[in-house]
Structure 1
Amino acid sequence: MGLSHSSVYHSSHVRSVSTSGPVIVEPYSDLYPRLDIYDFYGDEIYRPQFDLLVQSYQVIYDRPYEDMRSFYQIAGIHGLPYTTYDGVTGGVHEYNNQTDWAKGRWGGYCHHGDILFPSWHRPYLLLIESLLVNEAKKIASQYPDNEKEKYVEAAKQLRHPYWDWGDEKAMKGIPEIFITSEIEINTPKGKKKVKNPLKSFTLPVDVSYPLGKGQNPTDKPNYNVPNLTYNPFTPAGYPTIRHPNADYEDQYNLLNSNLSVHVPTVFRPGLYQMFHIRDFLRFSHHGVKPGGAQMGNVFSGHPPPSATGIGHFASLEIVHDDLHLATGGIGGHMAYIDLAGFDPLFFFHHVNVDRLFALWQGVYPDSWIPKITELNGTYTDEIDKVVDENTDLTPFRKTKTEFWKSSDVRDIEKLGYTYLEVAKFKSQDPKKLQAYLLEIYKPDPHCGRRFFVKLTIEAGKLAGPYSIRVFIDLPDANAQTPVTSPHFSGFVAMWQSNSHTHNNTFVVGSVDITAAMVRLNLRTETFEALQDVNVTTGLLSSLAIFDVNKDINIVPVTLDGKGVSPKDAGVSKVEVFTFEHDKENPNFLVENSGQYYGSKKF
């Protein structure tokens, strides 16, 4: 995500093979649920588990950074430092920091922009979770006899909690447990105030490279957030940060302000849309090739859809992307794909993404991973490699010689964990689970006919993370127009974008503009010819006209608040659709229950 190679990796941070043998990710022998973070640290019943989790995080923080079981190494699997984890390379396709980077090949192990995005992160989470559980068991055995049994049982039941950022509670801001510097826990030596490891992680070595004067944390109190075409530099001894100010301090007022806007306009509408998608390809990720080549098998078994029938609803990945931008902010680790894994918030976010994946599986149990081409490549996979459910999810070992595959992680119960909602609806009609999810993520009371703006965006036209805001009925909307404006409808987040993106890769996203239309008293009813056409002149009444060119205003904005033209930001096409979300058994991908209001191109 940068203009120069030096902005992406640090060559001196070569990983070492673990001295205690290969890191093998093993499933649990017992089944227990992963819990909501609010319940996890707010309910006295789970307090022992919370005490153990905090101490276990600190243990893996404190390990030597060369240790494959240290937090640094686990976090670095995702992106930087673009070097080998536990000896797992691509063989003949091993990543080359010079030539592969120049071609646009992604240098982290993670899968983004391809169909393995949900399943790859599943063994990743199981890896860090199992390491934490192992430490928790050791710590539990050290408690006094009158507490030991309780803590041993808590360690057995411990699973990594999640933060549901789609819950209405998220509108009030990030949970306090991720903000406070110190917390009181019960340790084997009694109650103590300890440094809170869930707030940040202090880097043991430099990550990325120093930038120009004033753009590095060492320049505080005159720290200036770096140019967005570069990864921020984090020197050894400095913590991960969220929305940093000139003193390299977190600005939670900005983070919480972002959440107050994003939760109702992006997260909840996005999840509401997502649980209507039954096709795995559309659900799983946002990457397509020119002309929608990645979507070639989406409609297999169906007649070719008409132009009015293609409504790309929010994918899991594209909703996930915005949470990264909202919580990191310019200069914050969560906002940069290369650095996000070093913020402990990353794992609570991704456990929720896994939870959403598992819930979606409950709604559509027969939908699974087809064979497609991987557009971006990874540290072990070349660009345009064909992947499917049997592709190795490197670097996660199932045994010394085998890697986990998506087919291995399809059933989370076989891995030894579940989620309370998944367990509750397990034996019921999937429609009941869908109805439950649509109710808890209902974006607003206006859930009949809904209006969507569909954006087709060419990735790589603009470097760095940015968002594409959608305003309606406000022709002069610009980067300075506040997102608190009643005309603001939402946006599509471009988290992974760089100038080396190959083959004109496209991202397709949608914004639900219904709530904004209701706020502005714009018409949302179905067009009725008898009522809307003047029988004398034959013209449509003004209320019946929806002009995409005039009424939809696209405003791309970089993380530092600068405006960019839609064309320069890669926006190639804007379309408007309506759909009836609440009809029985809707098939949104091949049938249009509303109207197509046209499009405009840039």
Structure 2
Amino acid sequence: MATAPAEWKSDTRYSLRELERWADQGHRKPLDDLFRAWRGIQQLPPDDPNSYWAIAGYHGIPLAPFDPDQPHLPPPFAWWGGFCHHGNVLFPMWHRAYVHHLENALRTQVPDVTMAYWDKGSKDSRNYGMPASLTDEFIKLDGEVVRNPLQRFTFPVDIESSAQFKSPTKPSVADFSKRAGTHTVRYPMSTFYASKVEEVAAAGQAHNAAIRKRYPRYEDQLRALNLNIRLALVGDAQDDLSVDCDGTTDGETYARLGRCLEAPNFNILSNNTSTGKWYTSVEQPHDEIHLAIGGQDHQPIKTEVPKMYDKNGDLSKNTKAVVAQIMGSNGDMGENETAAFDPVFFFHHCNIDRMIWIWQKKWGKTAEGSIEIDPSDMEGTYGQSPSGQGGTRAIPGTTKLTMDTPLHPFKLPSGEYVTSRDVVDLRSQLGRDYSLGSFDKVEWPREVIEKPGPEVILSVININKASFLGSFRVIVSHKDPVSGTVTPVASVSVLSRWNLKRCKNCQIHLSRDVHVDITSVKRRFPLQEDITKHSYTVDFVDRSSSDERRVVASGRYVDGEWKLLVGREKIESVRIEIDERD
């Protein structure tokens, strides 16, 4: 009979790699129970409210009401885009309630099971990518070899999607309809193979066939995925396994996970719209991982990058391989419409919630009533802001968001809607806690000592999200004034939708600013050097271009002047600013 280790507690969410380590030591119960519960909710009928189909659908497609209390929206907003909150102050607590709701559904299958988190800050994640429990195709459960329920989800019924995009040159580059029996996919594959639109499906199937030819074994496809994740976490730096996970080493997403804990208030922590230029919100590293799994390449173009494995499948830190972009990759995690149907979504968000809980512990904001939303933040609390998410299935786009705003469709036992106030204290209100993972401490000091933040920020202001197809990346490069060498400084991923014109959430909220830390440039030059006068290239990358770099728009900023180079119509509203901290 499977057992749990002595230290296991049923109210604690552990990292997946902790569960895997226990299983290797003979204590298989926590991991097997998680597999069993996930398999159970995936096998429930689609009309069961505890089915994975129903719960995953809260986030985006199938774009149908799951709550009888909420009426249909009138045309032209028939596509309402789900209940989810992004780019506003409800992002943390809505997704906390979402993970808890799924966890309760899992407990209808296995009473004492608890969700687990994928710890992206761990050394194993930085060096190897995803835990095996999320990527193994098959597992052994109750003496039977079965498909791993955490590796993918098979759609039980057809999905009719109104999100199809059409253009004169590419009639159907994206469509989120799904044929029953198809399943979710991850980078480097394309989810469009599952489309009910013939030309979209044909393109997706051709891409997947080419990938299987290039990477004949599933293990080879998985290595491409894990390399993309590793590059998203730590860039192309050779990571030292002995380095402590304190968030101070180079590497974009890993460093951003650490920096979000420096946010001085909840508004700044909560979302990309509220965060401003000098801090990092928890939503930014969240977006980066979505896109690393969902199809945006984090690999340099024709550049040598660390090779994760040698020919025997072992980690090799001294060999390098030339890695090019994998065109046409469209994993389900890469767009809001389909992201929640990939099981990794919830393990990713469980870790994001853990980071929020760490921030609460660090800043003494764990108790019920200890968090308030600053109403003066017009950007992150809607108002008439053009930068936030906009409305949801149940909330008009001009609603002022507060701690008392209902988190639809989640309800309390009393029948009232959950609000952010109901989920502030993870321990006393939800009865959960997290194990000690990366970035956390056994005891946090009573007085917070703030770490030095960025010294120089380059801001790309007023990006029109409607100019790009789906999610996209903004890549900033610096040109050395002496050698002429152009070096990428950093990139920022923007999680978006394929067809903003049909998304109620997005109609009046099309603007996005991104802020890039270019302190590393300053440190390479003498103190008297004015790096604001140097040359910076800003590339905008999405999946609509046939160019191998996928650059659909580009501009150059030199000595205060912004020059448009490529895709002028896409970035004509953009302006660039460089600010140095006093």
Aligned with residue 468 of structure 1, among 442, 465, 474? 474
Against the structure 1 CA distance between its residues 207 and 489, is the aligned structure 2 distance closer, same or farther, given a 3 Å change threshold?
farther
Aligned with residue 457 of structure 2, among 433, 452, 458? 452
Against the structure 1 CA distance between its residues 80 and 209, is the aligned structure 2 distance closer, same or farther, given a 3 Å change threshold?
closer
Against the structure 1 CA distance between its residues 515 and 272, is the aligned structure 2 distance closer, same or farther, given a 3 Å change threshold?
farther
Secondary structure, in 3 states, of the residue corresponding to 1:412? Answer: coil
Contact 1:461 1:499 in 2 (8 A): no
Secondary structure, in 3 states, of the residue corresponding to 2:55? Answer: helix
* TM-score, normalised with respect to structure 2: 0.70
Instruction: Supply the distance in 1 between the matched residues of 2:34 and 2:409 (Cα, whole angstroms).
Output: 24
Which residue is 2:292 aligned to?
326
Against the structure 1 CA distance between its residues 449 and 178, is the aligned structure 2 distance closer, same or farther, given a 3 Å change threshold?
closer
Which residue is 2:445 aligned to?
429
Amino acid at match of 2:117: Y
| Superposition pairs of residues 183-582 of structure 1, within 5 angstroms | 183-185=139-141, 187=142, 191-209=143-161, 230-243=174-187, 244=189, 245-247=207-209, 251-264=221-234, 265-287=251-273, 311-329=277-295, 330-364=329-363, 365=365, 367-371=371-375, 372-373=381-382, 375=388, 376-414=390-428, 415-421=430-436, 428-431=444-447, 450-456=455-461, 457-473=463-479, 487-497=487-497, 498-500=499-501, 501-503=506-508, 505-515=510-520, 522-523=524-525, 527=527, 532=528, 544-548=529-533, 550-559=534-543, 561-566=549-554, 568-570=569-571, 572-578=574-580
Contact 2:176 2:337 in 1 (8 A): no
Task: Report Cα offsets for 1:514-538 as digits up to 9, x if no partner.
Answer: 45776xxx22x6x3xxxx4xxxxxx
Secondary structure, in 3 states, of the residue corresponding to 1:488? Answer: strand
Contact 2:474 2:492 in 1 (8 A): yes
Secondary structure, in 3 states, of the residue corresponding to 2:42? Answer: helix
Higher relative contact order (CA 8 A, sep 6+): 1
Percent identity, aligned pairs only, is 25
Against the structure 1 CA distance between its residues 494 and 384, is the aligned structure 2 distance closer, same or farther, given a 3 Å change threshold?
same
Contact 2:278 2:457 in 1 (8 A): no
Richer in helix (by share): 1
Q: CA deviation at 1:448?
A: 8.0
Which residue is 1:61 aligned to?
42
**Does structure 1 residue 37 correspond to structure 2 residue 39?**
no
Against the structure 1 CA distance between its residues 170 and 512, is the aligned structure 2 distance closer, same or farther, given a 3 Å change threshold?
farther
Instruction: Supply the distance in 1 between the matched residues of 2:514 and 2:173 (Cα, whole angstroms).
Output: 23
Quick check: which has more Rg, 1 or 2? Answer: 1
Task: Report Cα offsets for 1:467-495 as digits up to 9, x if no partner.
Answer: 111111279xxxxxxxxx98222211111
Which residue is 1:100 aligned to?
77
Against the structure 1 CA distance between its residues 54 and 237, is the aligned structure 2 distance closer, same or farther, given a 3 Å change threshold?
same
Which residue is 2:138 aligned to?
182
Contact 1:31 1:418 in 2 (8 A): no
Q: CA deviation at 1:404?
A: 0.7
Against the structure 1 CA distance between its residues 515 and 227, is the aligned structure 2 distance closer, same or farther, given a 3 Å change threshold?
farther
Which residue is 1:161 aligned to?
116
Q: Which consecutive residues of structure 1, in runs of 5 or more, have no partner in the other structure?
A: 1-29, 138-155, 216-225, 288-294, 299-309, 439-446, 476-484, 533-543, 579-591, 594-602
Against the structure 1 CA distance between its residues 209 and 106, is the aligned structure 2 distance closer, same or farther, given a 3 Å change threshold?
closer
Task: Report Cα offsets for 1:255-283 as digits up to 9, x if no partner.
Answer: 22222221123212222331221132222
Against the structure 1 CA distance between its residues 209 and 130, is the aligned structure 2 distance closer, same or farther, given a 3 Å change threshold?
closer
Instruction: Supply the distance in 1 between the matched residues of 2:108 and 2:509 (Cα, whole angstroms).
Output: 45
Q: Which consecutive residues of structure 2, in runs of 5 or more, have no partner in the other structure?
A: 1-8, 190-206, 213-217, 235-250, 296-328, 376-380, 555-567
* TM-score, normalised with respect to structure 1: 0.68
What is the aligned residue count?
448
Instruction: Supply the distance in 1 between the matched residues of 2:337 and 2:550 (Cα, whole angstroms).
Output: 22
Contact 2:371 2:424 in 1 (8 A): no
Task: Report Cα offsets for 1:145-172 as digits up to 9, x if no partner.
Answer: xxxxxxxxxxx3x320111223343232
Instruction: Supply the distance in 2 between the matched residues of 1:421 and 1:52 (Cα, whole angstroms).
Output: 21
Amino acid at match of 1:195: R
Q: CA deviation at 1:81?
A: 1.2
Contact 1:231 1:338 in 2 (8 A): no
Secondary structure, in 3 states, of the residue corresponding to 2:427? Answer: helix
Instruction: Supply the distance in 1 between the matched residues of 2:570 and 2:490 (Cα, whole angstroms).
Output: 17
Secondary structure, in 3 states, of the residue corresponding to 1:460? Answer: helix
Instruction: Supply the distance in 2 between the matched residues of 1:128 and 1:76 (Cα, whole angstroms).
Output: 12
Amino acid at match of 1:286: N
Secondary structure, in 3 states, of the residue corresponding to 2:552? Answer: coil
Indicate the RMSD between aligned Cα atoms, in angstroms. Answer: 3.2
Contact 2:521 2:531 in 1 (8 A): no
